[in-house]
Structure 1
Amino acid sequence: MRVAVSTISGGLDDKVSEVFGRAVSFTIVDVEDGEIKSVEVVRNDFAVRGGGAGVAVSQFLVDKGVNAVITGNVGPNALGVLSSAGIKVYRGSGLTVKEAIEKLIRGELEEITSPSQPKMGRWRRGGGRGQW
């Protein structure tokens, strides 16, 4: 099984990123017979795109042969691309990559089947920073 985990700097000790399409990097982990066999860190060059980052990185991960994704949140378009390719998406918020992979192997991660709601806090009328 090949698993892509959204990360900030990458590696097994990094935390799972709360974001998917705009994650700085992805740690791609190959798992065989319940054990981690290899780890590859790839920079997410799509994170700085004006739009469509989630779809672009989803297609990139499809092309990399990924079978599962672990992240914090994922938008509707990205989830659509991943689901269409048969890639399951799991929530791993607050875990290290290694912890998330171990929980995935044991079947303990929550599968994400519907997209995350956008964060509205920063730009809501009359509330917090950036109010208008």
Structure 2
Amino acid sequence: MKICFSSTGKDLGSMLDVRFGRCSYFLIYDAEGQEVKVIENRGQMAGGGAGIAAAQQIIDEGVDVVITGNLGPNAFDILKKSDIKVYRCGSTKIDSALQLFKEGKLEEISVAGPAHAGMGAGKRFRGGR
């Protein structure tokens, strides 16, 4: 089983990025060989369609599961049609998110979030809370 994490860094000690389409990296953990592959997210700098580009990149890697914070409607639809399960996890380290997944403690995302989650106006107000 290949498990993909949206990540801010390049190792299991990195923080999970709660943004899927605009995260910096994807860490792909192969549960069978316990190996980690790191790929740079091609969608992160896209002017539009970041989620679409990111989702296609994940499909091309043969991933079975995605663990992230938010998933916009385009990426959600593409991953769902490809039979890739997606689970929600808050801001934590990747190794902690992996453990939570193994323990069955993550919620499967069954409905897409808003487009551009974590971007635009929402980002401005986050720091003021």
TM-score scaled by length of structure 1: 0.84
Q: Provide the C-alpha distance between the structure 2 equivalents of 1:57 and 1:110, rounded to a whole number of angstroms.
A: 21
Is 2:59 aligned against 1:69? no
Please tell me whether Structure 1 or Structure 2 has the larger radius of gyration of its CA atoms.
Answer: 1
Q: Which runs of 5+ in 1 are unaligned?
A: none
Shift of 1:40: 1.1
Q: Provide the C-alpha distance between the structure 2 equivalents of 1:121 and 1:45, rounded to a whole number of angstroms.
A: 20
CA RMSD of aligned residues (A): 2.0
Structure 2 counterpart of 1:84? 81
Is 2:95 aligned against 1:109? no
- 1:26-105 matches, within 5 Å, as 26-32=26-32, 37-105=34-102
TM-score scaled by length of structure 2: 0.86
Identity between Structure 1 and Structure 2 (%): 38
Distance 1:10 1:74, change over 3 A: same
Structure 1 counterpart of 2:9? 9
Q: Alpha-carbon deviations, 1:6-49, whole Å to 9, x = none? A: 001121001110100000111110113xxx71011111122111
Determine helix, strand or coil for the equivalent of 1:29.
strand
How many pairs align?
122
CA contact (8 A) 2:42 2:53 kept: no
CA contact (8 A) 2:15 2:94 kept: yes
Instruction: Name segments (4+ residues, structure 1) moved above 2 Å.
Output: 117-123
User: What one-letter code is carried by the residue in structure 1 that aligns with 2:28?
Assistant: I
